[in-house]
Amino acid sequence: MSETRSVELSVGTTGIDEHGRPVTIPLGVRTGSAEVEHEPELGSEHMLINIGPQHPATHGVLRLVVELDGEVVVRVVPHIGYLHSGFEKLGEYRHYNQLIPLTDRMDYLAPMSNNVGLALAAEKLMGIDITERCKVLRVIACEMSRIISHLVWLGTTAIDMGAFTPFLWLFQEREHVYNLQEAWTGARLTTTLTRVGGLMADIPDGFEDELRAWCRKFPKTLDEVDKLLTRNALWCGRTQGIGILTAEEAINFSLSGPMLRASGVPYDVRKDLPYLDYETYDFEVPIGENGDVYDRYLVRFEEIRQSIRILEQALDRLPDGPINVDDPRVILPDKRDAMNDMEAMIFHFKQVMEGIEAPVGEAYFPIEGPKGELGYYFVSDGTAKPVRWRVRPAAFINLASLPKMAEGHLLSDLIAINASVDIVMGEVDR
Amino acid sequence: MTPEELKGLLLVSSIKIGVVFAVIMIGVIMIIWVERRGSALLQDRLGPNRVGPLGLLQNVADGLKNFTKEEVMPLQADPVIFVMAPMMSFVAAMLLFAVVPFAAPLPPFDVTLPLIGHVVHEGPVAMVIANLPVGFLFILAVSSIAVYGIVLAGWSSNSKYAFLGALRASAQMISYEIPLAMSLVVVLLLAGNVPLGDIIAFQQQTTWFVFAATLSWLLFHVATFAETNRMPFDLAEAEAELVAGFHTEYSSMKFAMFFIAEYTGLITMSALIATLFFGGWDIPFTTWDEQEATNWSFGTLFRVGMTNLFFIGKTFFFAWVYIWVRWTVPRFRFDQVMHLGWKILLPISLGYIVVMASAVLVLERLGMVHDWKYGMALFAVNVPLVALCVFGLDRDRLLLGARLRSQAET
């Protein structure tokens, strides 16, 4: 007599064996001496293997069901949704400003850039022009986000290939940015930096000097990592020619960001659909030639350097002035005014209770997030809550190209290719 | 053999076995500490620093933790082999050190001890557990057994990750056994015999084999990286790909035995490199350490102590090289490893045997005696060969850059 708990198995098989019974695998500890009746029959000679949702190399809770012929990947099926939080639906019950904390939790490696994207989309919907200082500060926020996101990408990709050391070097640099982020917003991860029409807070005293000092110091670490990897024969051997996507394929897959640019398509939202006065900044957009993992590495690496350039320019031009628009319907009044001034109190009450009313219409605003084109789309019926909120998550769309890239490569290459996509499951699943 | 001599042999052997085992176990703990603190040094962090001074006792604490952990065995694992596999790894790793001499010989003795009685040892006491006549052939044989532990561990776990890891390990270790053995053929050609004691004596007479057989050393060093499953050849574990490879399903002390076996292998391979190519316990630029030990004087004991220190120093240095490399480079891909083993290292080692055999023959014909000039003459042969290999080999070809592979396909 055995006490075997069972769980149904559905890893790409029909889940039914030849006798018509559901295929099960035993779970837990067996008591008694009964044998396991049937091992799951998983196709012919190919082996079906589950990579994830808990696996060192899936960067979150991505689950890849991989069909292997020896070590060669025959088929990859990405299973997503393990981190699904229903953000888009939640957004239909939130004021526009209340959406911003949700965006923190999407691409949690670059929260400030998400915040900026959402604020810009809402402002486009409402026709709000933000102040000059706010624009520059938002550029700083975006580029800081891009750098830390790429740093995590670089570090984790290096770990996936077995190089552990760059990860810790880069995370130490990332820590500096996080400290700055914390000083600015009070939070390291869930920044909720922006508000519709402005920012939640101005930068604190000393922020500029700290950031400037970091911008000077940080390229040294980058150079060290560069020396360790870029011309390393092992690194080149592991990344060159792996996961090639041609420019045509990349466009057909609707890729964006470094994935697209590594394939040789010079599309960067900052250059092509400039926002926040990006057209006035002097920076280059790196383009790859071969569209392989190595080119994606080079492109992201160069983007970090270009982001530093943008940061320095932004710090140079940072104007004085208000960070918020002067519109009491959009921006919460000062706390003291709200407590003492009747009119301010009414505005405060209306904003907190009713939110900011947007005109009827729709708006889509793309920004160049660290992972690619990050777009927010709103449909408004004239109330303070969107009827439909849709996010165009770069990582989700980029991930769709994974099977195309990985099939035919080795298992090790699958890990490298998966790393090169730069996914964040919070953004993929939303 | 008189009973006194037999007693003497048993006494000496059991002391040596006990001491070497204890030193290796402590050495493993130390080398893990060095690895953790060393990697921390390379990575700009602190490393374990809470248990004991400088975190020295961290691994003792970890070991204790492993003893107290629950043994988990997968439901469908093969229970016998699953338990046996870590033992095989552990025993094979421990056996390897038996033939490595770790100091200059002690003088003979003839004493009466309490309890044991009259014991005699004729001739110097070689500081090696077993001075086997088969020498390093024993090492090649036993290190091949180590792969069984890994393969059986992966197979008996009944886990796909472990299975893939075991497959990789077996293919990798078989393909690296051959360059490993081939690189030692040159050592055999030079020294004319296989016991490690003779090899050390020959190096003392001429030069260290790192000069006389430089390329052999390079090949051997690379092959030992693969043999010990260390980065950049740690495909069998490949954390990012196979979770933990062959020991994914192992827990508590069974896992710890693999762990200890890995680091014992690291120490043994370092000791082997030191012995085969860097003179073992030989102290460079002196000859006083090579005198025959005849009497129990302070000088003799000091000499034995110093040679032992030099041996430990050399071993430690190469262990550090392993650690250093591990935390610097990325991992090979499976096909690249096979390519490197079969298509690069093996032909090079075969060609090198031919060249060195010719060189040795020519030197014999010229009537050169075995002194330092002999070694330097061989070094002169080696320099262009090493230069050719290091700079002549195209890196893309060496690693089978996939770009070239895809070009070949189109």
CB contact under 8 A, A232 and B232: no
Closest-CA distance, A117 to chain B, in angstroms, reads 33
Q: What is the pLDDT of residue A307?
A: 92
**Confidence at B238, pLDDT banded by 50, 70, 90:** low
Environment class of B391 (CB within 10 Å of its CB; exposed 0-12, middle 13-18, buried 19+): exposed
d(CA B159, CA B77): 8
Max CA distance (Å), chain A? 80
Mean pLDDT confidence for A212-225: 90
Q: What is the pLDDT of residue B375?
A: 80
Q: CB under 8 Å to B362, separation ≥6 — which residues?
A: none
**Confidence at A17, pLDDT banded by 50, 70, 90:** low
Contact A406, A243 (CB under 8 A): yes
Say whether pLDDT at A195 is over 60.
Answer: yes
Q: CB under 8 Å to A192, separation ≥6 — which residues?
A: A100, A101, A104, A111, A115, A185, A200
d(CA A300, CA A373): 15
Q: What is the pLDDT of residue A149?
A: 92
CB contact under 8 A, A241 and B404: yes
Nearest CA to B282 out of B204, B344, B366 is that of B204
CB contact under 8 A, A237 and B243: no
**Percent of chain B scoring above 70 in pLDDT:** 94
Amino acid letter, A274: P
Mean pLDDT confidence for A240-259: 87
**What is the pLDDT of chain A when averaged over all its residues?**
84
3-class secondary structure per residue, B134-197 = CCHHHHHHHHHHHHHHHHHHHHHCCCHHHHHHHHHHHHHHHHHHHHHHHHHHHHHHHHCCCCHH
User: How confident is the model over A346-393, as pLDDT tens digits?
Assistant: 988 888 888 888 888 888 999 998 998 999 998 888 888 889 899 988
Contact A411, A73 (CB under 8 A): yes
Closest-CA distance, B405 to chain A, in angstroms, reads 8
Chain A residue with the nearest C-alpha to that of B168 = A71
Contact B156, B78 (CB under 8 A): yes
Chain A residue with the nearest C-alpha to that of B324 = A165
Q: What is the pLDDT of residue B2?
A: 81
| Candidate from A30, A228, A233 with C-beta closest to B75 | A30
**Confidence at B402, pLDDT banded by 50, 70, 90:** very low
User: How confident is the model over A59-71, as pLDDT tens digits?
Assistant: 778 888 888 877 7
Query: What residues of A are in contact with residue B399 (Cβ under 8 Å)?
Result: 233-234, 236-237
User: How confident is the model over A117-166, as pLDDT tens digits?
Assistant: 999 999 988 888 889 999 999 999 999 999 999 999 998 888 888 888 88
d(CA A350, CA A357): 10
Closest-CA distance, A390 to chain B, in angstroms, reads 34
**Percent of chain B scoring above 90 in pLDDT:** 1
Which of A111-115, A229-233, A419-423 has the weakest average pLDDT?
A: A229-233
CATH superfamily of A87-326+356-392: Cytochrome-c3 Hydrogenase, chain B (1.10.645.10)
Determine the residue among B344, B403, B405 to mutate to test chain A binding: the one whose Cβ has the most chain A Cβ atoms within 10 Å.
Answer: B403
Record the tokens describing residue A49, joined without a space: 């293997």
d(CA A34, CA A302): 60
| Candidate from A160, A161, A410 with C-beta closest to B334 | A410
Mean pLDDT confidence for A267-280: 87
d(CA A187, CA A183): 8
Highest mean pLDDT out of A234-243, B181-190, B335-344: B181-190
Say whether pLDDT at A35 is over 50.
Answer: no
Q: CB under 8 Å to B1, separation ≥6 — which residues?
A: B9
CB contact under 8 A, A172 and B404: no
pTM for the predicted model, two decimal places: 0.83
Say whether pLDDT at A40 is over 70.
Answer: no
Helix ranges (DSSP H) in A45-164:
87-91, 96-104, 111-126, 132-160
Q: What is the pLDDT of residue B204?
A: 82
CB contact under 8 A, A164 and B327: yes
Question: Are β-strands A372-380 and A361-369 bridged in parallel, bridged antiparallel, or unpaired?
Answer: antiparallel
**CATH 1.10.645.10 in chain A, residue ranges:** 87-326+356-392
Highest mean pLDDT out of A12-16, A98-102, B146-150: A98-102
Query: What residues of B are in contact with residue A412 (Cβ under 8 Å)?
Result: 235, 238, 241, 331, 333-334
Mean pLDDT confidence for A329-341: 86
CB contact under 8 A, B329 and A232: yes
Determine the residue among A234, A235, A409, A414 to mutate to test chain B binding: the one whose Cβ has the most chain B Cβ atoms within 10 Å.
Answer: A234
Max CA distance (Å), chain B? 81
Residues of A with CB under 8 A from a CB of B: 26, 29-30, 36, 39, 47, 49, 55-57, 71, 158-165, 168-169, 172, 228-229, 232-238, 240-242, 244, 290, 292, 410-413, 415
User: How confident is the model over B13-70, as pLDDT tens digits?
Assistant: 888 899 888 988 888 888 889 888 988 888 888 888 888 888 888 888 888 888 888 8
Q: Find the distance separating the first CA and the last CA of chain A, reported in whole Å.
A: 46
Say whether pLDDT at A7 is over 60.
Answer: no
Closest-CA distance, B338 to chain A, in angstroms, reads 13
User: How confident is the model over B257-304, as pLDDT tens digits?
Assistant: 888 888 888 898 898 899 888 888 888 777 776 777 777 777 788 888
Query: What residues of A are in contact with residue B42 (Cβ under 8 Å)?
Result: 165
Say whether pLDDT at A27 is over 50.
Answer: no
Query: What residues of B are in contact with residue A160 (Cβ under 8 Å)?
Result: 240
Mean pLDDT confidence for B349-370: 86
CB contact under 8 A, B75 and A55: no
Say whether pLDDT at B158 is over 60.
Answer: yes
Q: Report phi then psi at A389, rounded to 5.
A: -125, 125
The residues facing A367 across adjacent strands are A374
d(CA B161, CA B171): 16
Say whether pLDDT at A173 is over 70.
Answer: yes
Residue B346, CA atoms < 13 Å, CB-side half-sphere: 12
Record the tokens describing residue B275, joined without a space: 């012995």
Query: What residues of A are in contact with residue B329 (Cβ under 8 Å)?
Result: 162-163, 232, 234
Nearest CA to B234 out of B205, B258, B214 is that of B258
Q: Is residue A73 helix, strand or coil?
A: strand
Closest-CA distance, B55 to chain A, in angstroms, reads 20
Q: What is the pLDDT of residue A23?
A: 56
Query: What residues of A are in contact with residue B239 (Cβ under 8 Å)?
Result: 56, 162
CB contact under 8 A, A57 and B43: no
| Candidate from B43, B328, B404 with C-beta closest to A168 | B43
Please count the other Cβ atoms lying within 10 Å of the Cβ belonging to residue B119. Answer: 20
Q: Which residue has the higher pLDDT, A416 or B246?
A: A416
CB contact under 8 A, A57 and B330: no
Please count the other Cβ atoms lying within 10 Å of the Cβ belonging to residue A228. Answer: 18
* CA distance to A59, A67, A405, A409, B220, per residue, from A74 (Å): 22, 5, 11, 8, 36
Mean pLDDT confidence for B180-191: 86
CB contact under 8 A, B333 and A232: no
Nearest CA to A153 out of A380, A371, A348 is that of A371
**Percent of chain A scoring above 90 in pLDDT:** 13
Mean pLDDT confidence for A410-420: 87
Say whether pLDDT at B403 is over 70.
Answer: no
Mean pLDDT confidence for A404-411: 84
CB contact under 8 A, B329 and A163: yes
Q: Which residue has the higher pLDDT, B122 or B217?
A: B217
Helix (H) or strand (E) holding A348: helix A342-354
Q: What is the pLDDT of residue A28?
A: 42
**If you ran DSSP here, which 8-state letter would residue A28 be given?**
S
CB contact under 8 A, A56 and B395: no
Q: What is the pLDDT of residue B55?
A: 83
Q: Which residue has the higher pLDDT, B345 or B390?
A: B345
Q: What is the pLDDT of residue A213?
A: 92
Which of A55-59, A327-331, A345-349, B269-273 has the weakest average pLDDT?
A: A55-59
**Confidence at B406, pLDDT banded by 50, 70, 90:** very low
User: How confident is the model over A281-301, as pLDDT tens digits?
Assistant: 888 888 888 888 888 888 998
Q: Is residue B62 helix, strand or coil?
A: helix
**Percent of chain A scoring above 70 in pLDDT:** 90
d(CA A195, CA A286): 32
